[in-house]
Structure 1
Amino acid sequence: MADKTVSKHLVNLEKQFAATDPVLQKAVKVFQELDELEFEMALIDPEETTARRSSWWPLISTLGGYSPAKSEFLNRFLGVTLHTTRHKFTVLQYTPQTTSATLPGTALDADHRLPFYQISRDIEQTSPGEGSKVNSYLELVTVNSNKIKNKLIIDTPALNPAAENAVNAMLRQHVTAISDLVLVFTDLFETDPEFNRDAIASILKYQDTNKFLFVIDHSELNLDPNKSQEIIASWQRRLTEFGIFTGHYVVLTQNSDNAEIEQRVNNLNNDRSYRVLESLENSIRAVDDVVMEEVESAITLWKERCNATTLIILSFIIMLILFAEIAVGILDLFFDPLIGPLIIVALIAFLTPIHMIVSRVHAKFIINQLHKRQKRLNLSEDLSGLFEKSLSFWRVLLPITQPVGKTKKNRKKLNNLLEQTKDLVQALNDQYSRSQFQEYPSTYEPQSGDEY
């Protein structure tokens, strides 16, 4: 097997964080070690990397109802007038150009540096036939605003009863899951419960992650701090009716300075780092907890089918022998000290290639099942690759159900990677404490199209 080459994506990430974030630079090294281990087990290709599962940009997303509150806030916050499609998920990316550009959803689906990478597969799985219509759901808009340098904003479409479908619900949950900060506009809770239940369900699923900032829009009013606190308390009580008990609140008024939102945005580098490290830990654990379990179950099923088929063939041969005994009487030959062993050897020599052929035929059906299972579990690892690597000659003949690579040595490697990840989280905690909740200093500002 060829040696694993370091992914270009990882090389660029390491260069990116060499001078700005030592924790993420070390995380890149751990991703590289995980890649090498997965490559040895035929789970990923030579140029592939597990680091692509998580966006390395700090991510902000918006979630709101059908009122213009969300879009008006973004225009004020960014200091620009956005021209976006209200029914699409729009990724806003910084550009130094004064002219904004709108790119199709395929730009997001094909670029591993951006969120929604290969999302067309999830769309197709959610609604067959829609995966090829990714441009109907996504777009990328470049914006000349310093507020989103080093960051991305995902503006989700307004809840529209005429446009809601299973794909939109899936994409909203996906956006909520990958975001470091979610600005939830309270008009979301004033829409028809039939259409906002999926959005609220995604909030409930992740409400303990401290990523939600509930935005109460009263930008047409001039309110004093006491009145704003009363409004917040009222909304806190109301949201408990939906099962939402966590999250922070901010009231937008004519005289508000958005200081809390600015602070959360400025701290997104730390939030992003925790998310990337969480993705790294989940990827490491998934090798043992998901990948190995799935492939071992597939091997067990495959062996049961192969053995059953071979037993049927053997039974047919025994029946032929019995018929031959009735016709001409040949059983005495089996007890002959010279001929008997030769017959047994000949029988084994005949059944071994038959068993190998049977195994290959059944393997094709199992591989197809693993492809479907991989899509269903949304795994980037090639389950069939590990399965096929486990089909060596002796593994086919012997009662071995463990996949190649499920060894004490590899488990020790995975445990070591987990310990390194925990050390990085601790280092990030120390870094976060020293920074006193200020953004980690950075001298590099990625431009549109950078490998970030």
Structure 2
Amino acid sequence: MPQSSTNIYKRLQSLEKHLAEEHPDNPVLAKAVHSFRKLDRVAQDIGLLDRNESYATYVTWWPMIAVLGTFSAGKSTFINSYLGLHLQRTGNQAVDDKFTVICYGSDHEVKTLPGVALDADPRFPFFQISRSITEISEAGPQRIDAYIQLKTCPSEKIRGKIMIDSPGFDADSQRNSTLRLTQHIIDLSDLVLVFFDARHPEPGAMKDTLEYLVAGTINRADSNKFLYILNQMDVTAKEDNPEEVVSAWQRSLAQAGLLAGKFYRIYNPDAASPIDDSQIKERYEKKREEDMAEINTRMQQIEIERSYRIAGMLEQTAETIENQVIHKLTSMLHSWKKRVILFDGILFSTLLLLSGVVLYQTNSWDLLKTFCGNVMANETPSLIMLASLLGFIGYIHFTVRSKAANSIIKKLPVEFGHDHTTCKQYTQAFIKSTAAYRPMFLQKPAGWNTANQQILGQVKNEANDYIQSLNDLFTNPSGRKAEVEEEPTVETVTEVETKAEQS
């Protein structure tokens, strides 16, 4: 087994063990790691993943909350208030140009760790992201520490969760890198809080930010995980026009393509401007408390949502490979074969025609007959010439194959846009399917066979079983008290199953 493959296998083993110890009452998460390994083997056979990659690293195994927005939207103030301690620097200007991953720490003080702590741990959302950093850095390869950092804190609010504070979108330096990493975070998060600054109700200057944050979420299956938050609403109290401010932002979102969605209106009482009118103050406070209660409820529910999301991702990934990836690769292969046959025909017909013209003009047909006779007589010089000729023909053919494949690959970035990961996977798989050692008459993509089809079927069945197990843990449709009293029996069975698996 290659060293890189051994490393990822050991990391997944460690992850599976850690999840089993941390969640003994919810064995679904540890079992899901094993199912991800099956998916990995299929994807590696097809070429979607390298041997040192795993779909298990594409998800966060802790509930994850992303906090996005412009630098003046009060993201850091919100985080500090939620955690109940001063963790992030605040200010009206951009104060941090890094992604900060925040998690629980048992020490009684805040600790800041370098980005490499995240890059090497598959439990966190930036596992092996340094490879992408090298690809997207405008200034050439740079240290992962220039982009991300890890902070630990003793707040109970963050225990069992991960929160990510993103840098402001207005910073021009490393902007492309920031947007790409933001997309990576959005895909992995269970909840995305998108902050806007209510003090700027006409956000024309942030048109590209709105398009990136909003336009890309419209057709997502998980669009309900986005919460749009108008922060610092206290500044509108003097004019008493919160409805006008909300309407202005809704118009801006509509221009970006989002025609539906709710804005939460909040502000930090400790940093708020004084509201002299008692009636207006009461109305603002009531609305803030209602919206904050909804936001907090969503943040508290993500642990349950995370378990379902991971089980759902297993089934979705298996379905995507079987119904979308294979279909797309097969279509690409068909287009590739047509191009190769077309250009092979043109080139070899042209060469054959030119050769005929030369033989005709030089009246050298006797030389051709003599050469064929020598080949039939196994004369070495003629055999060497034949081998050279066949080598030349092969060189032309495989050059045409390579050029035709590259012409199709070049169109993928346009087709997939910001989805760099999917683009990379299709590129790898297509290169494997068009490799020189694979005959052109093969109809199926590389690695697609009956055995791998059966493995995907197993993974989908396992994902359904996991969801049923989660339903048994978190639901009680009948509402009978007797079922609640019998719950310890279910836990005992679960413990027996877990021990049996471990043995």
TM-score by length of 1: 0.72
**Residue 223 of structure 2 corresponds to which residue in structure 1?**
209
Greater mean deviation of Cα atoms: 426-435 or 76-85: 426-435
SS at match of 1:184: strand
Counterpart of 1:172, as a letter, is T
Deviations 1:307-353 (A, max 9, x none): 655555555554555456x246467789xxx9599499979866544
Distance in 2 (alpha carbons) for counterparts of 1:361 and 1:310: 13
**Residue 305 of structure 2 corresponds to which residue in structure 1?**
271
Q: CA deviation at 1:122?
A: 4.9
Deviations 1:247-298 (A, max 9, x none): 4636456574954333222211223234434543454314424555556655
Greater mean deviation of Cα atoms: 278-287 or 364-373: 364-373
Unaligned runs of 5+ in 2: 90-94, 270-284, 479-490, 492-503
Preserved CA contact (<8 Å) 1:232 1:251: no
**Residue 378 of structure 1 corresponds to which residue in structure 2?**
421
**Which of 38, 48, 54 pairs up with 1:49?**
54
Q: CA deviation at 1:78?
A: 0.7
**Residue 249 of structure 1 corresponds to which residue in structure 2?**
264
**Residue 10 of structure 1 corresponds to which residue in structure 2?**
12
Distance in 1 (alpha carbons) for counterparts of 2:229 and 2:315: 32
Q: CA deviation at 1:70?
A: 2.5
SS at match of 1:260: helix
Counterpart of 2:178, as a letter, is N
Aligned residues: percent identity?
27
Distance in 2 (alpha carbons) for counterparts of 1:182 and 1:81: 22
Q: CA deviation at 1:355?
A: 4.0
TM-score by length of 2: 0.66
Is 1:195 aligned with 2:202? no
Distance in 2 (alpha carbons) for counterparts of 1:330 and 1:164: 67
Higher relative contact order (CA 8 A, sep 6+): 1
User: Against the structure 1 CA distance between its residues 300 and 157, is the aligned structure 2 distance closer, same or farther, given a 3 Å change threshold?
Assistant: same
Q: CA deviation at 1:302?
A: 5.5
**Residue 100 of structure 2 corresponds to which residue in structure 1?**
90
Preserved CA contact (<8 Å) 1:34 1:50: yes
Distance in 1 (alpha carbons) for counterparts of 2:364 and 2:233: 100
Unaligned runs of 5+ in 1: 224-229, 442-452
Distance in 2 (alpha carbons) for counterparts of 1:330 and 1:162: 70
Preserved CA contact (<8 Å) 2:105 2:152: yes
**Residue 78 of structure 2 corresponds to which residue in structure 1?**
73
Preserved CA contact (<8 Å) 1:370 1:384: no
User: Against the structure 1 CA distance between its residues 119 and 32, is the aligned structure 2 distance closer, same or farther, given a 3 Å change threshold?
Assistant: closer
**Which of 1, 23, 28 pairs up with 2:28?**
23
Distance in 1 (alpha carbons) for counterparts of 2:134 and 2:329: 23
Greater mean deviation of Cα atoms: 25-34 or 288-297: 288-297
Count residues in correspondence. Answer: 424
User: Against the structure 1 CA distance between its residues 323 and 235, is the aligned structure 2 distance closer, same or farther, given a 3 Å change threshold?
Assistant: same
Greater mean deviation of Cα atoms: 192-201 or 360-369: 360-369
Distance in 1 (alpha carbons) for counterparts of 2:331 and 2:122: 28
Deviations 1:385-443 (A, max 9, x none): 764576466x44x544543323455445435534544554565466554499xxxx9xx
**Which of 445, 466, 479 pairs up with 1:403?**
445
Deviations 1:37-73 (A, max 9, x none): 2333455444432221222221112234444632222
User: Against the structure 1 CA distance between its residues 66 and 32, is the aligned structure 2 distance closer, same or farther, given a 3 Å change threshold?
Assistant: closer
SS at match of 2:197: helix
User: Against the structure 1 CA distance between its residues 253 and 45, is the aligned structure 2 distance closer, same or farther, given a 3 Å change threshold?
Assistant: closer
